[in-house]
Amino acid sequence: MCKLNWFKFSFSLMLFFFVTLFSGAFVNSANAQKKEVVIGNILPLSGPSASAGVEGKKMREFIVKQFNANGGFECKGELNGAKIKMIYLDTKSNPTVGVTDVQQLINGDNVDLITGAWNSGVTYPASQVAEMHKVPFVVPVSVMDRITGRGFKYLFRIAAKDSWWTRDQFRFIDYLAKKTNKKIKTLGLVYINNDFGKSFDDSWLKLAKQHGYKVILNESYAETATDLTPVVLKIKSAKPQILLVVSDAADAILLQNTMANYDVRPWAVISSGGGQADPAFIKNTGKNADYLFDMSEWAPDMNKPGLKELNKKFKKAYGIDVNGETMDAYVGMHTIIAVLKKTCSTNPDKFRKEMLRSKLSTGPFTVMSYPYVKFDKDGQNVDAGLILVQVRKVGNKYERVTVWPEEDARAGFKVVFPQPNHY
Amino acid sequence: MGSAILNGILMGSIYGLTAVGLTLIFGVLKVINFAQGAFLMSGLFATYWFVKFTGTNPYLALVVVVPFTYFMGYYIQKFLIKPVFESEKDVREPIGVIIVTTGIWYMLDNLALMLFGAQYRTINVPSVSKAISIFGLYAPLSKIIGFFISITVSGLLFWFLKYSKMGKAIRATSQDREAASLMGINQYKIYNVTFGIGTAICGIAGAVLLPFYYVYPTVGMHLDIMDFVIVVLGGLGSIPGALVGGLIIGLIESVGSQFIAYSWTIEVIYIIFLIILFVKPSGLFGVKGEF
């Protein structure tokens, strides 16, 4: 009796699956014209990186709202007349949650495309799941080198990878020497002892050798350090001409203020877009951060057509200025839309083909720090460039002013090097 | 090098001050107060807002911050910790109370997060933050003032416990709370006062730290771990022990880092910590119940 019941149960279960499967196939083939493109977004909407995630979400909403209001896709193919539907899931900056999110989006929500996840540590495993299911994954931000170059076919990264950051920092040092005719010989490297800092330091040491600079100080400090005076005293006695720094938020403030208090002023301090890019940094250091260089992907004061207008509209809608985070989301969303317009289909192979073929430089793409979006066969945006900002006094406030590359520099500003009163 | 030694001594004494409250509360209540970091954070925030609203010197904030943190500690002990204490009164080292202090830690940290947001805040006091030269050695005035405040506060506390009537009652309770009760000492009153003094010292430490440090809701976490090391190093319950423990850590951090990478000094601190625990498990000054 019991056996028979089990048989009946498994039989009906199989029947149920078959029916669902066939009805699904039937609906799909009958519905050749798609009404909507479903894009899954995985972002850190709570937890330590929440502010970045929330800002990115706002920009995505801003773009999609406008796009749908204008009638959605207009193209010859299955997407004609289709609109975009966004689904947002929170990763909490946790890789495990990110992976579950992607599974949910693919199996539960049948998304056509995924974008996210901001944290490199989340993007890395999450994109693997998407690749397995042949769902295109567009990465606007995560910079960890290893994300691309895994032979994935459906992964595309907009942001510059982290080895490019150090490469451009050294290009900038070369530029400083050439531009001002000063002989730069010695470097000091100070970094926070975590993945972020260590990967920069490894790369700096190699580049210093290649570019012919002598590293006379290579110092790390723990994430939990409460006093950075010992590090500052070491800088003071070693006196490197250029100081390269990687910091998170709190320690960036502590380091900058302690250096100012001990009057430690190298020719230039060049930081790496970590804590120094946090709005809290300038607020809490002010004059102490004067003439600091920071690497960035983008800045609101860049000399780019259409930028002011975009900022005005976005601020009106969400009350915040466009910043680096929102800009990454902006380029990511516009890339997806531009490519889908061309393929007029959500077929992942067509999407890949078009992504590799496109070179996006007009329309919404004029506000970026680099001239175009173009992907190599690894899915990396090949010319994602970086810029340098210098903290300068504008009026009675200290601001991040774009100074390099020269053509993007804020009108009326040039690099100040070496900084006044240096040792 | 001289500046590094000086910085080590100055920072060490301030670290010691942040740990004095913890050691006092343990000495008397036999409770490891996990909310120590949160009280420090409260002291930092209280100083921050005082300076922000009045625009005066952070050391003037002591007038307001000390009573504020004292009564905060007093009433937290009275209304939140005491009930648990009473239900565990037959246990020498009450575990339930430790869990309650952990709850208070989370509550205060998240309250600060709700009220003030997660951003970092600093105050800018150029008059005390610039490094000055003393016999060719450099140190910011804020740390020198911090050093003197730390020594004075520890000295006063030591004197208070040794000679004042309340101090004697506190010591009696710490040595044997039942015997003290039999002598007519109200045990819970003593606990309230001790907790209040412990948190008030966190308030003082907050005012001392803020001119060269920053504040955000979970700032206490970093100092917390260090405070536990200091207290165990110096001997649980010992006030001179806390100061000496602080000095040892400050000196290793500052002087050691002139020879090895700064991030390695933490390794050295923990190695010395382990050695002291092996050789003298009660810590340098650790005689139970003795101040």
Cross-chain residue pair B120–A250, CB shorter than 8 Å: yes
Q: Could you tell me if A187 and A276 lie in one domain?
A: yes
Q: Could you tell me if A292 and A354 lie in one domain?
A: no
Using CA coordinates, name the residue in chain B closest to A47: B118
Say yes or no to pLDDT of B217 above 90.
Answer: no
Using CA coordinates, name the residue in chain A closest to B216: A250
Between residues 273 and 292 of chain A, which touch chain B (CB distance below 8 Å)?
Answer: 278, 280, 284, 286
Q: Give the model confidence (pLDDT) of B145-157 as tens digits.
A: 999 999 999 999 9
- What pLDDT was estimated at residue A330? 94
SS3 B187: helix
pLDDT in single tens digits along all 423 residues of chain A: 445 576 676 666 666 666 655 554 444 444 468 899 999 999 988 766 777 788 899 999 999 999 999 999 999 999 999 999 999 999 988 899 999 999 999 999 999 999 999 888 899 999 999 999 999 999 998 888 889 999 999 999 998 888 899 999 999 999 999 999 999 999 999 998 887 788 889 999 999 999 999 999 999 998 778 899 999 999 999 999 999 999 887 889 999 999 999 999 999 999 998 888 887 888 889 899 999 999 988 888 888 888 889 999 999 998 888 887 788 899 999 999 999 999 999 999 999 999 999 999 998 998 888 889 999 999 999 988 789 999 999 999 999 999 988 888 888 899 999 999 898
Identity of the residue in A193, A229, A286 whose CB atom sits nearest the CB atom of B263:
A193
Q: Which CATH class is domain B2-279?
A: mainly alpha
The answer to whether A225 contacts chain B (CB < 8 Å) is: yes
Identify whether A11 is part of a domain.
no
Q: Give the model confidence (pLDDT) of B230-244 as tens digits.
A: 998 988 888 899 999
Q: Could you tell me if A109 and A121 lie in one domain?
A: yes
Using CA coordinates, name the residue in chain A closest to B123: A284
A254 interaction partners in chain B (CB closer than 8 Å): 213-214
What CATH number does the domain containing A282 carry?
A: 3.40.50.2300
**pLDDT mean over B163-177:** 89
Q: Could you tell me if A262 and A399 lie in one domain?
A: yes
Q: Could you tell me if A272 and A398 lie in one domain?
A: yes
The nearest CA of chain B is from the CA of A284 a distance in Å of 6
For residue A189, what are the domain limits? 163-296+386-408
SS3 A412: coil
Identify whether A168 is part of a domain.
yes
Between residues 79 and 98 of chain B, which touch chain A (CB distance below 8 Å)?
Answer: none
- What pLDDT was estimated at residue B289? 45
Using CA coordinates, name the residue in chain B closest to A254: B213
- What pLDDT was estimated at residue A408? 84
Would the pTM count as exceeding 0.90?
A: no
Cross-chain residue pair B263–A230, CB shorter than 8 Å: no
**pLDDT mean over B81-108:** 86
B254 interaction partners in chain A (CB closer than 8 Å): 227, 229-230, 233
Using CA coordinates, name the residue in chain A closest to B257: A230
Closest CA to B203 of B61, B91, B57: B61
Half-sphere exposure of B177 (CA within 13 A, CB side): 18
Sequence-distant (6+) residues with CB within 8 A of A26 are none
Identity of the residue in B130, B140, B262 whose CB atom sits nearest the CB atom of A219:
B262
Q: Could you tell me if A212 and A282 lie in one domain?
A: yes
Q: Taken in order A67, A73, A79, A80, is the CA torsion positive or negative?
A: positive
Q: By the 8 A CB rule, do A77 and A332 touch?
A: no
| N-terminal to C-terminal alpha carbon distance within chain B | 34
Instruction: Please tell me the total count of domains within chain A.
Output: 2
CA–CA distance, B148 with B141 (Å, rounded to integer): 11
B262 interaction partners in chain A (CB closer than 8 Å): 219-222, 225, 230-231, 234
Q: Could you tell me if A120 and A139 lie in one domain?
A: yes
B222 interaction partners in chain A (CB closer than 8 Å): 224-226
Identify whether A137 is part of a domain.
yes
Q: By the 8 A CB rule, do A208 and A214 touch?
A: yes
Q: Return the residue matching tokens 């907009």.
A: A158
B18 interaction partners in chain A (CB closer than 8 Å): none
A193 interaction partners in chain B (CB closer than 8 Å): 263
- What pLDDT was estimated at residue A278? 80
B226 interaction partners in chain A (CB closer than 8 Å): 226
- What pLDDT was estimated at residue B291? 44
The answer to whether A380 contacts chain B (CB < 8 Å) is: no
The answer to whether A258 contacts chain B (CB < 8 Å) is: yes
Q: Could you tell me if A279 and A330 lie in one domain?
A: no
DSSP tag of A154: S
Between residues 122 and 151 of chain A, which touch chain B (CB distance below 8 Å)?
Answer: none
Q: Which uninterrupted H or E stretch holds A175? A: helix A162-180
Taking all residues of chain B, what is their mean pLDDT, rounded to a whole number? 89
- What pLDDT was estimated at residue B70? 96
pLDDT band at B101 (very low <50, low <70, confident <90, very high): very high
Q: Which amino acid is at A259?
A: M
Q: Could you tell me if A113 and A67 lie in one domain?
A: yes
DSSP-assigned states of every residue in B219-286: THHHHHHHHHHHHHHH-TT-HHHHHHHHHHHHHIIIIITTTS-HHHHHHHHHHHHHHHHHH-TT-TT-
Q: Could you tell me if A167 and A291 lie in one domain?
A: yes
The answer to whether A421 contacts chain B (CB < 8 Å) is: no
Q: By the 8 A CB rule, do A282 and A391 touch?
A: yes
Identity of the residue in B121, B129, B263 whose CB atom sits nearest the CB atom of A221:
B263
Q: What number is the ipTM of this complex?
A: 0.86
What are the strands, taking DSSP E only, across A164-250? 186-192, 214-221, 242-246
Q: Could you tell me if A176 and A276 lie in one domain?
A: yes
3-state secondary structure B154-178: HHHHHHHHHHCHHHHHHHHHHHCHH
Identify whether A20 is part of a domain.
no
Q: How large is the C-alpha radius of gyration of chain B?
A: 19
Q: Taken in order A367, A370, A373, A379, is the CA torsion positive or negative?
A: negative
The answer to whether B188 contacts chain A (CB < 8 Å) is: no
CA–CA distance, B276 with B283 (Å, rounded to integer): 7
DSSP tag of A184: -
A222 interaction partners in chain B (CB closer than 8 Å): 262-263, 266
Q: Which amino acid is at A325?
A: E
Using CA coordinates, name the residue in chain A closest to B124: A284
- What pLDDT was estimated at residue A246? 92
SS3 content of chain A, % helix, strand, coil (to 5): 50, 20, 35
- Structure-model confidence comparison of residues A47 and B268, the more confident one: B268
- Domain ranges (residues) in chain B: 2-279
SS3 A240: coil
Q: Could you tell me if A154 and A235 lie in one domain?
A: no
